[in-house]
Amino acid sequence: MLSRRKFIIVLGGVSLAGLTGCSGEEEQQVNCQPLPIESGDECAVCGMYIAEYPGPKGQACLRDGRVLKFCSTSDMFVWLLQPDSVPQLRQAFVHDMGVTDWDNPSDESYIEADVAFYVTEQPLMGGMGPTLASFGNEADARAFIDEHEGRLLDYEEVDVAVINALARAHIQRTM
């Protein structure tokens, strides 16, 4: 199974940008970091305006230098779990809800998604309804569960079944 965690190896101080791969194309040296959420930013999955909604957001930095923004961690995983997304991904980011406000997450609180802890089956809503609450450390995630309930997952445990369960929960709440 391919890991979603990406590593960059630099040998002897040689920049990857100067190396040529098997395809004959040069690997781009890309500054991979989350960007601020602007008022007109739209979710790469659902098209909703991101800034208008509460809860943790996600971003995916791609190998070609583009950054995709998502209105929720759920929508980010919808994109990440697509087979054609894996080779495009350089790094994904989520808000650390242990250090920021649910209703207005700070652009300064992004962490790497593959080291975060996630709480599913929790009652707080994100941009698309039920979402995964993301945390930078397990203690904050467990404190959140003590207060709100939910189930703890790590990055590798978030799969299509987890995302489908969130979608079913959203449908049930709107009926």
SS (H, E, C) 12-37: CCCCHHHCECCCCCECCCCCCCCCCC
pTM of the model: 0.81
What confidence tens digit (pLDDT) does each residue in 132-169 have? 999 999 999 999 999 999 999 999 999 999 999 998 87
Where do the H-state alpha helices sit in the chain?
A: 73-80, 138-148, 160-174
Map tokens 């809800």 to a residue.
97
Distance CA 54, CA 69 (A): 14
Q: What is the pLDDT of residue 38?
A: 96
Residues 6+ apart with CB under 8 A from 5: 114
What confidence tens digit (pLDDT) does each residue in 69-108 have? 999 999 999 999 999 999 999 999 999 999 999 999 999 9
The number of CA neighbours under 13 Å toward the Cβ of 125 is: 9
Residue 17 has pLDDT above 80, yes or no: no
Q: What is the pLDDT of residue 20?
A: 36
Distance CA 113, CA 32 (A): 13
